[in-house]
Structure 1
């Protein structure tokens, strides 16, 4: 492999030593001189009689330099002392004045450094405790809103169901009662019909008797009248029917309420939401602090870790089961996952052996990430679901994203949170979920209300908690801090910039694939361009995905290939 040009090598210094004509990595800092020093200049600094007593520390542990402020009484002097008795800052010449005779003075820079550290600590508390804790409480409130709406809707459904049941019973009883009236009516009418027939028969009898009597009366033989006995049958008895009487039910609104039930607010005192004390912190914050402390310890053990003057290719292997590589995630147990542009997601070991293969809806985005526990998280853009694959190869539905289509995902190395880049028609956002899958934070707009993202197709997190997103439609790397405040956007070094895969390393560098220039660019933590790590000179063409493992090796996948190349760029 060809070596990088001298120009590229010169650009690969993270922080330049402050010694004149020295261009080495300034990883140390002299608090007396207020300038960065490389390892060699530090040693010389400590050997020199003039500077051997100077306080030299790691750059990140440096004291803040006192801002320059001219003395009002002595404009040629800087204010650099503090009078304990008068409690005022002053210059060295002021300390010789009569009104300060016998007073004790402190180094103002020491006081400033202490105050700066104190305010920095307070700022850190806001970022690491107050904001996350309040956001957790807000999430709890939002969850309660959803839960209350569900409960009330369930109550309304139950009430309607009860009412419907009562209506059905009322209809059933009414129907039975009406049917009973028909039966009663039929029975009564039958009796009356029988009586009516009896009356008809008796009337017919009377008419017959009337005819007979009239015939006898017309006979001239009177002896016959005396020989016949007159006897008329009595009128048949009939009964007047007793009609049914309707007895109305006795009920009122309270009776109906008792039947249907009503909604009551329990006589229970509302429970106060639990706020974890800052001393104890929440589980989420403990995890964050522990991981940050581990990162610090790791950095302390690697005090000389810096960018190498050249990039060395240490391994390359072909991946079975993919058509062309688009994204790579390094698994904790020494395995890695690679995806292509047509939904194939495969797991392979470091020898290139295929371990498992899954068909997904993923395309050209960073839609999978390995967790600290060795699981794999991946998104499904069609089902709008985030899945988890455990070490025993069990696939479970982890998070549903509603109407939003999840594109990219990253598992935080700080606290295990999930960062997910999502889109919906005309909108895009980044959502933070806890390890348990609970929605914590949504990042969508800047302070002016403008949308931060358009197509966040690759995403990662830096060691300071910054969320770094590769946005295809914005042609930019968009970086926000942990609170979601926009910090900067990187738009490349040329006239055109199409960013793809993105990752960060233990030094806070941001590494991003520029698909236009066929390079992997290296940025500092604040978005400043440092160098081109990989270019066509190293045989790189169309880089798509990058990630860094725990041993600081850089993994790169390229378009139209099935290979994963591994590079060493730190020393």
Structure 2
């Protein structure tokens, strides 16, 4: 027999709900037909029905907030347990004072409301309601009585499945189940039994202690959120303080060093911009976990404190397991912090202008990331190169293969969803600010967006140039690599290859490297969180990082040489992407690895190498959930999960 999860007697709880628990986490509106899951999270019936239609597998689904695995009842989500606590609170707030009984005609004042029938009942009608066979197990909320916390009392009865009319009032110690009086004197006559209320009181004591252990975790989450807020304020103050010190010092120097002062101030802003982006990512992660845990703890508290004797007895093991898991839940690791200091010059006799101002000292704790291979799959049976991977926000990615007109959509697990034949051969795929696909066709010398039938409608054309890589900035501008030859092997010194910035309507806003001095063959481009433009130059064999203003920031030409080698290996940069923390990831076809760089271009390490089974990486992309997609030269795609400390 399946026992209900939720209390049949809800009391001692204020009607004033917190924002997290008064609204459905899926639709963000007040609950409609609230259903509670075994993990204590509650959702509207329609919301959880729509969610399971898209996410259930083998009659199971993961809770949207905590990912706890739940089983769909045989009759569907309609049979999930109703959260009578929330229904009672909604009823109390909606029923007018001194409402009349809706059953009898003598004008008696309503004392209770049936949550199933949604009718107001006087005292006599409510007694009759609980005696009728069709409604004896309904839940009645008191409209007049209030507990010390201000909420009306809710009552209901639990009946024996074998003896339908007998109420459960005893507990069999041997069988660990609630039983009725007839069960006690028949089937369980030789078993030790006790009053259900006594056993429930005993279980409540045990679960209350466990509940206290779970409650101790929530302040830790709040502490981490407070730490993030304090650190955010501290960063802003330190940024202003550092810039003020820089300006004060440079005011004492000659006008010829103003340009150096400007560059140093931009470096400060650049560091803090990246740090704030990392902080925002961490804040969102902790906030989501805190909300999930808070609502879970709230529902657990209601079940333990206000559940009926039968509910408590039925769900003892499940409640104990959930509360133990909650009490032992790991909170986030300590935050990686940036420390910067400005050291003013103490001498005016320095040989260079830069030394006259001073120096910025930056210290950041080492980046710790664990890489786990999530999936590996082939796009088709060919050995063509995966030229582009474009993740979406739904855990899928569009894939271009072998510079053909074929476009493939895959789940990150490697399951193919569909394929389209585009009207042009495809070199690279990106998404614009409105999440519409935008593609470059190296062969047809155009950039387009798919229209009806996935025909590629021209968005921008560049006579004399072959468009290659594309990316979209945080402002919605579009960056496109342009080369005067279709392949980097055909590059000539006279070529003036460049990167252009377009508005969302195709207007050219700026050109980078139009004089031919900045790039040799810009193949792929990525926009970093601080506005930097990161370009993989396959002919130059380096990654060129340019500020949004067009000023060269730095170049990266491969990882430092190993101590046991006389010189470093060849660097063959192909695909390039940036994450929300400012890191740069580069696919190196020569060493069969993925390089990870700081936003400054400093080498941090190789995330994945040939030793991990990676061969011929050509394209790389990262989605919003920190899954790194790597397209290889043999039609294979590998997906890695990046777990940051």
Give TM-score, length-normalised by structure 1.
Answer: 0.47
Greater RCO (Cα-Cα under 8 Å, separation 6 or more):
1
Considering only CA atoms, is the larger Rg found in Structure 1 or Structure 2? 1
